[in-house]
Structure 1
């Protein structure tokens, strides 16, 4: 799984770079289709040329990895420049695949990406062996700089490796956890900043209604659930879900390992999916008393149509990813009204801790 960049500026740059890459690949594909440009060569010749270049580059990297493995770590060799050079070589190899994926057979693309993944893993292992991390020692640490206050129009996207590791265990944030067959309702307080983070973890066959504004939503290990959520000021991170329905409004949404799940979204940026299959997308249609004002105050008042502009980070080809599609109109559930959903401590309802 690709790591997320903890720097929001770098994250924006990565997204723009990805979009430009797709545009470039589509232009190349169109040039090839019309017989213009240098890409008009027969496809079998282009494939053969790519495979030859890829194999030569991979052999060079393997040879350098082999040479560095033979070094004695106890001698403390200065190998950082060589390791950095290897990292650049692997990145160049990955770029070669991306730039040629528009005409390559699916098998060759996936095989090449698997080889690159193995090379990265080998490089990481070698780096850990030859350049071990320093042992912990007590030192005076500089005071942390205060974090900048974000405006409503510029909310930080916190989809980080740190967040993903948090989801691996039990986060300290409030949330619904380890429920089966329940209706779960949470009403967030009305405030200018909204409430903090909220988590949905290990839920099965539940209905969840989250009303009001809050900063971030983390979803992990959810099965056969229906999730309806008001405005999220920051980001939504979803991981390991199956057979669910999500209705979400957020500035940024990232989805990992989702299967057979429908997403009804209003989102400021393009939704990102990774390692997903049979996921479908439609526009946000949640209604409850006060939601229009909450959406406006959260910078989500306008429909951007980004719900249908999905980026599949596991699909490099310029053609449509087979892992997602637009939900057919006749199969959509329509407007969902949840004004009558209230937090209760009786019957089948639960209040967040």
Structure 2
């Protein structure tokens, strides 16, 4: 009885917090309609990803109906954000006429000379990292922006024909959660993280990752090399192939291709028999093969 009351109290508190954050995000999306900028969209995208992570971390502690309703509300926010992103007109290139130089330049003042000597400020550090909007790139840890904490959430989005290699992670960066969306024809070589990984809309990709919780939505033709400590959940996916995370992450990874084949040693484990579909947690998922 005490455990049931504790679960109900957690669910009530969580839903109150979740709905408050969801309402705020919805209002921010509405406010940006017709007046959005790339920076505002990037910040809003990170905040929506944080809400999705908050929900993922609560999985198993919420009633099934409440969990599903929150999932739908997050997906609605993501859809609205995507519609807002596609509505932003792309900047057109145009030549600008150079202003004529003055005939007699005025001598620089002492204060101006001092100001010119000052170095430009360093980029602002952040604990929420993002790699997005790239095509035909090889991306490593050097592609990440400056950070002011050893542990950071990472969002990878809107990539086409890219290789993202964050191996080895080293001591400088600990990824606490991964949010991945809108990728096509990409290879992701990722370390083992302590938190969750959420994947949306991946097509013809290879993903190598270890995590505590794995959730995949609306993806097709994806090969996943996975190490996990809980039951993965899959929703609206097809042609997904799973295999164990390579036993030696420092070994050459050139054998992994977009066809999903690898010459790395793969341990055998019966754990793959426990993987579930989001809608049918009482039976095995039909969305994947091993």
**How does the TM-score come out when normalised to structure 2?**
0.48
Of Structure 1 and Structure 2, the greater helix share is in: 1
**How does the TM-score come out when normalised to structure 1?**
0.40
Greater RCO (Cα-Cα under 8 Å, separation 6 or more):
1
